[in-house]
Amino acid sequence: MRKAVKRLRYAYELVEPVWSSAGEPRKAANDVTSTLGDRQDTIVAREWLVTMAHSGASGEAGFVFGRAHAQEERNEEELLAQAAREWRKLKSVRW
């Protein structure tokens, strides 16, 4: 989905010089792609945290990796809710 919205954003960027109204949907598409990129970052971070936890972390270090993983899960939930709001906005402003 992120790649498709990114292509849409590029299309709006292309026509924006001759169609000034393209600025609003371009910005909305940019917001969606940015938020989905942040979500991807949480996925990568969680994978890294799991790898680190399995690499022999014990005691306090293991606890810290687990807490950080849980925080990244919460971040993903918030980002998905934000992306849904931004998607609705994009749908309302596109031509």
Q: What is the pLDDT of residues 47-76, one digit of tens each?
A: 999 999 888 777 788 889 999 999 999 999
How far is Cα of residue 85 from the mean position of the Cα atoms in its chain?
Answer: 12
Domain boundaries defined on the chain: 2-93
Residue 94 is given by DSSP the state -
First to last CA, the chain: 19
Amino acid in the structure at residue 74: R
User: What token pair was written down for 55?
Assistant: 């690499």
Cα three-residue angle 31-88-34, rounded to 5 degrees = 15
Q: Are 72 and 49 in contact (CB under 8 A)?
A: yes
Given this model, what pLDDT does residue 95 score? 66
pLDDT of residue 31: 97
pLDDT class of 9 with cuts at 50, 70, 90: very high
Output the pTM of the full model: 0.85
Q: What percent of the chain has pLDDT over 70?
A: 97
The share of the chain scoring above pLDDT 90, in percent, equals: 83
pLDDT for 47 equals 97
